[in-house]
Amino acid sequence: MLKKYIGNKQFYKAALAIALPIMLQNGITNFVSMLDNIMIGRIGTTQMTGVAVANQLMFVFNLAIFGALSGAGIFGAQFHGKGDTEGVRNSFRFKLMIGAFLVAVGTLIFAFFGKDLINLYLLGDGTVEDAEASLTFGLEYMTIMVLTFLPFALCQSYSSTLRETGETVLPMTAGIVAVFVNLFFNWVLIYGMLGMPALGVRGAAIATAISRLVELLIVVIFTHARKAKYTFAAGLYKKIFIPVALFRSISLRGLPLLLNETLWSAGMAMLAQCYSVRSLDVMSAINITNTLFNVFSVGIFALSTTVGIIVGHALGAGDVEKARDTVRKMIFLVFVISIGVGAVYATFSTFFPLIYNTTDSVRSLASSFIIVGAVMMPMSALCHACYFTLRAGGKTFITFLFDSFFVWTLAVPLAFVLAHFTALPIVAVYACVVGLDIMKSVIGIILVKRGVWIHNIVNK
């Protein structure tokens, strides 16, 4: 029975060849982001709260970019599996167009409504002085970070296309260099080292902007310098527009993904806002929790992403049985690994919050949130793996229902009601909402098993 779920050495070797570079890049990125977060957290609670709120809001933009590019990415992976290089180029061109549009929209929103959005998270119990200080720090950070939107969108367009064609080393290398650049300038600009002024949260934002520009330059320069290897780069900018039929196809399949990632991330932001009405401490505690969770979830996310890439190649080549076999074995692998990761994650709940220069109340809340996340990590892993499987076949409307529709119809209403109209402790509220992943993972397994994701979208 287990043989159906356990692959041979060659299977895991092929999967890890894709997953490990993604895992390494994301691992180093999230680890350095954790150090970045700790550096800000060492300054004080109000600085950490302001930056946490700003990052929660910008997370919506980042996921909107991810969703918009993912629609074209489904086509890119299947075009590559089919051997259609021009198809990969056109998929990339679509990414440039949608990315530029979202950068313009995101910049306008944060420029005109940034202050009002941050204030939504500063309504809980706490002093007026702390709320005003958090708002000031959040705005300082956000104003600079808006300048990173364009290089971020361009870099993600290149990196995602490289991964879809099986190249994971270059994006990984660029990402690793960028995070160390970010770490160095964090140290210099936050604390005022090497003769530079101590800029605090502004220094953290400037360091991020520099690192994103460095990452973009590395990816673009090496991609176009090696056109023989990265064949889609040859003649990439000879034309801007793509065939109308393909534009329509990508738009129709990509729109649900764009809406899904945007609404899902907005749902996560809304959940945080619901929790924050209890007290200002909650946002700081969630920030500490999410920072640690991001480091521990890199393996799960990388393997889930690998599912989508391998399955996309198999579907593009018309090999349905290989796609089914890959999904079954990869989801089982993700689930087993997540159990061990969750156990180790739980052990950090006792001492990780102590690193931050904050109150005992914030530390206690963070420890409890981490325990809840550790218990639910296997369910979260199943949800991730099922999502990328459903997305690989282009069934984007189903992924929309599975992901963001679920969040807005169940998770957000539950969090809102429990936080506003009950006396449940905030940790219990958090556990009830996170526990919905049990239901979501069951739905995901049923959809995957029924094969609703099996679809070749480039056979013409």
Burial of 286 per CB tally in 10 Å (0-12, 13-18, 19+): buried
List the structure tokens of 270: 């809304």
More confident residue, 11 or 443: 443
Instruction: Give the pLDDT confidence score for residue 304 in this predicted structure.
Output: 80
What CA–CA distance (Å, rounded) separates 140 from 123? 20
pLDDT in tens, 20-50: 877 776 777 677 667 777 788 777 778 888 8
| pLDDT tens digits along 398-441 | 877 888 888 999 999 999 999 989 989 999 999 999 999 999 99
Phi, psi of 125 (to 5 degrees): -60, 135
- What is the model's pLDDT at position 106? 92
Ranges of beta strands (E only) in 45-87 are: none
Separation between Cα atoms, residue 247 and residue 91, nearest integer Å: 9
pTM of this prediction? 0.75
Q: What is the DSSP letter of 456?
A: -
If one counts every other C-beta atom within 10 angstroms of the C-beta of residue 154, the result is 20
Helix (H) or strand (E) holding 52: helix 45-82
User: Which of 240, 241, 242, 219 lies closest to 230, judged by CA?
Assistant: 219
Q: Look at residue 1 in the predicted model and tell me its pLDDT.
A: 59
Q: pLDDT value at position 345?
A: 92
Element (H, E) at 324: helix 320-347
CA distance 36 to 125: 27
Average pLDDT, the chain: 84
Q: How far apart are CA 159 and CA 181, in angstroms?
A: 18
Our measurement of the distance from residue 154's CA atom to the centroid of its chain's CA atoms, rounded to an integer in Å, reads 16
Amino acid in position 370: I
pLDDT computed for residue 346 by the predictor: 93
| CB environment 192-211: b (16+ within 10 A), e (fewer) | eeeeeeebbbbbbbbbbbbb
Please write the tens of the pLDDT for every residue from 270-300.
998 899 888 778 888 888 898 888 888 888 8
pLDDT for the residue 457: 57
Per-residue pLDDT tens digits for 139-149: 999 999 999 99
Q: For position 124, what pLDDT does the model report?
A: 63
Bin 83: left if φ > 0, else alpha if -120 < ψ < 50, else beta.
left
Could you give the CA distance from residue 308 to residue 321 in angstroms, rounded to a whole number? 15
pLDDT at 238 over 90: no
Q: Is the per-residue pLDDT at 247 higher than 60?
A: yes
